[in-house]
Amino acid sequence: MSGLDLGAPASRATRVSRALPFPAGAGMARWVIARNAMAFRHGWVALVTGFAEPVFYLFSLGVGIGALVHSVRTDGGSEVPYAVFVAPALLASSAMNGAVMDSTFNVFFKLRYAKLYDSMLATPLGPRDIAVGEIGWALLRGALYSAAFLAVALLAGVVTSWWALLALPAAVLIGLAFAAVGMFATTYMTSWQHFDYITLAIQPMFLFSATFFPLSTYPEGIQWLVQATPLYHGVALERGLMLGEVSWALAGHTAYLVVLGVIGALGAARRIERLLLT
């Protein structure tokens, strides 16, 4: 934690914030984000390569399957090339991957093995700062992956609407939802084997959240199950923006992700506080 002047007494604003309910009591979370950014100065290769999988999917499916499936009719009624159809879904997946990777594996190691958070409590930082800071860093990592993927999609010519300018903020919202829920789930894990459950949740979502096929192609009973998943709402939000199919339905997808992010953040903060202070 060197270089982050955490030994100074907490400011009056910080002391006031700690008397308030979460998230107002996380006034020093920025220092956790700064610490993670400093740590990744030497691990930038692992950070940068995280968006490679969605890019590979974009070119392998968009070019390969796109040569066989020339166009797809979206649930909004538009007919678009397959690569244009699948790109928004892969953008949402990129945000999910970045956020989940940091809020699960990295948080688990710091919490259960490195005992990093115990050291942080020796500074003015509190459990709320740790929870919000780690979620914020995971969100930023997801945003970085999304920005890199969006740049690749733009160069590949699969961005067709000016509404795509809002695709990156939407990706940040997706990252928030998955980072918060991911960290909340991680606080209940006690061994590396429990990460099989993370894979069991993420992989089916990636494959079946209307990522590669329109929702209308699924049987009606399965459609309800697909629509209950967080990634589906991220995919539908990104697809609506990048294809210019803007409607009030996007507000519903946004609300779903906001509520999920808030619930996850509240749960993660309370669990971290319980684990570190008892």
Cα torsion at 50, 243, 212, 184 (round to 10°)?
A: 50
**pLDDT value of position 151:** 87
Calculate what percentage of the chain has a pLDDT beyond 70. 85
Asked whether the predicted pLDDT for residue 6 surpasses 90, the reply is: no
Counting the structural domains of the chain, the total is 1
* Residue-wise pLDDT tens digits, 23-36: 444 568 888 888 88
In a domain, 32, yes or no: yes
pLDDT band at 4 (very low <50, low <70, confident <90, very high): very low
With both helix axes pointing from N to C terminus, report the angle between 230-242 and 220-227 in degrees, rounded to the nearest 10: 90
* Residue-wise pLDDT tens digits, 182-194: 999 999 999 999 9
Please give the residue that has the higher pLDDT: either 250 or 49: 250
Q: What integer best gives the mean pLDDT of the chain?
A: 83
In a domain, 113, yes or no: yes
Asked whether the predicted pLDDT for residue 15 surpasses 70, the reply is: no
The rounded distance, in Å, linking the Cα atoms of 95 and 41 is: 21
In a domain, 81, yes or no: yes
- Predicted TM-score (pTM) of the model is 0.84
CA of 177: how far to CAs of 111, 220, 277, in Å? 21, 26, 26
Please give the residue that has the higher pLDDT: either 128 or 259: 259
In a domain, 2, yes or no: no
Over residues 174-181, the mean pLDDT reads 94
Enclosing domain of residue 256: 12-277
CA of 119: how far to CAs of 85, 122, 123, 136, 194, in Å? 47, 5, 8, 20, 25
The rounded distance, in Å, linking the Cα atoms of 27 and 18 is: 8
pLDDT band at 46 (very low <50, low <70, confident <90, very high): low
pLDDT band at 43 (very low <50, low <70, confident <90, very high): low
* Residue-wise pLDDT tens digits, 195-224: 899 989 999 999 899 998 899 899 988 999
In a domain, 216, yes or no: yes
In a domain, 177, yes or no: yes
In a domain, 144, yes or no: yes
In a domain, 243, yes or no: yes
**pLDDT value of position 186:** 94
The rounded distance, in Å, linking the Cα atoms of 187 and 189 is: 6
